[in-house]
């Protein structure tokens, strides 16, 4: 499946940015690779090392990464119905339940297509993400201070590039805007990593306002 492989390759190559960012935040090559191997969800990984680089504690950094990763559990509920895998395979497949595999799988018209899309995307992305993380971390370690080269901005830049095409509706743009305002506005007054947690409140707040507005218009 060409589309699935294309997604896996395109996103997998961005693991270089994570490897550079992780090494730049003070993690060793082994620690950076362990994160990609065991966590394997880019947004959470970037959030974790970003908070650590900003001086946040490990508990705060891990909390931010955890809340970003919770969405994968909801993906899993839907994919579990579509994939219909055996109990023996489910724990292994769960590790590949991320944004990209979910998007490709849900775009397929048949159960066979769903399974192929999920496996091809997951396998190609997992292999490339871990390989490029290693290359990025080794490269950053060899170069020394990543800020001198301007590579400390590589992680956030890649993350925004991946996120931007997903923000399409007015509600999604509102959530993104409020999250940015909360995150940047609270950055000078809260400990590193905490603004990310507070920014997560943007989604329920905007959805609540949108719901109230919709119900108000419906009652007129």
Supply the pTM of this predicted model.
0.70
CA 145 distance to own-chain centroid: 25
- Work out the percent of the chain whose per-residue pLDDT is above 90: 29
Predicted local distance difference test score (pLDDT) of residue 4: 67
Predicted local distance difference test score (pLDDT) of residue 54: 74
C-alpha 140/C-alpha 148 separation (Å) is 11
C-beta atoms surrounding 176 within 10 Å? 19
- Work out the percent of the chain whose per-residue pLDDT is above 70: 82
What tens digit of pLDDT does each residue of 104-142 get? 898 888 999 999 999 999 999 999 999 999 998 998 777
Q: Is the pLDDT of residue 56 over 60?
A: yes
Nearest to 82 by CA among 42, 112, 45, 43: 112
Lowest average pLDDT, out of 25-29, 53-57, 91-95, 176-180, goes to: 53-57
Q: Is the pLDDT of residue 49 over 70?
A: yes
Lowest average pLDDT, out of 29-33, 59-63, 64-68, 143-147, goes to: 143-147
Average pLDDT, the chain: 81
Where does the pLDDT of residue 182 fall: very low under 50, low under 70, confident under 90, or very high at 90 and above? confident
Phi, psi (rounded to 5 degrees) for 103 = -60, -45
Phi, psi (rounded to 5 degrees) for 74 = -70, -35
Q: Which one has a higher pLDDT value, 154 or 12?
A: 12
Lowest average pLDDT, out of 55-69, 114-128, 144-158, goes to: 144-158
Domain map of the chain by residue range?
Answer: 2-151, 167-220
């Amino acid at each position: 499946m060409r589309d699935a492989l294309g997604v896996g390759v395109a996103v997998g190559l961005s693991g270089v940015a994570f490897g550079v960012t992780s090494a730049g935040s003070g993690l060793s090559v082994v620690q950076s690779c362990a994160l990609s191997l065991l966590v394997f969800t880019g947004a959470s990984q970037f959030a974790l090392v970003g908070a650590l680089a900003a001086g946040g504690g490990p508990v705060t950094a891990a909390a931010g990464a955890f809340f970003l990763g919770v969405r994968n559990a909801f993906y899993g509920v839907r994919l579990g119905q579509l994939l219909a895998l055996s109990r023996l395979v489910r724990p292994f497949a769960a590790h590949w339940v991320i944004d990209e595999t979910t998007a490709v799988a849900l775009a397929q018209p048949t159960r066979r297509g769903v399974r192929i899309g999920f496996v091809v995307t997951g396998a190609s992305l997992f292999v490339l993400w871990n390989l490029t993380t290693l290359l990025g971390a080794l490269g950053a370690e060899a170069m020394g201070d990543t800020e001198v080269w301007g590579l400390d901005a590589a992680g956030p830049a890649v993350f925004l590039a991946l996120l931007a095409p997903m923000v399409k509706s007015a509600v999604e743009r509102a959530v993104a805007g409020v999250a940015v305002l909360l995150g940047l506005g609270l950055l000078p007054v809260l400990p590193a990593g905490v603004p990310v947690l507070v920014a997560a409140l943007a989604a329920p707040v905007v959805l609540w306002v949108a719901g109230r507005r919709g119900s108000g218009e419906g009652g007129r």
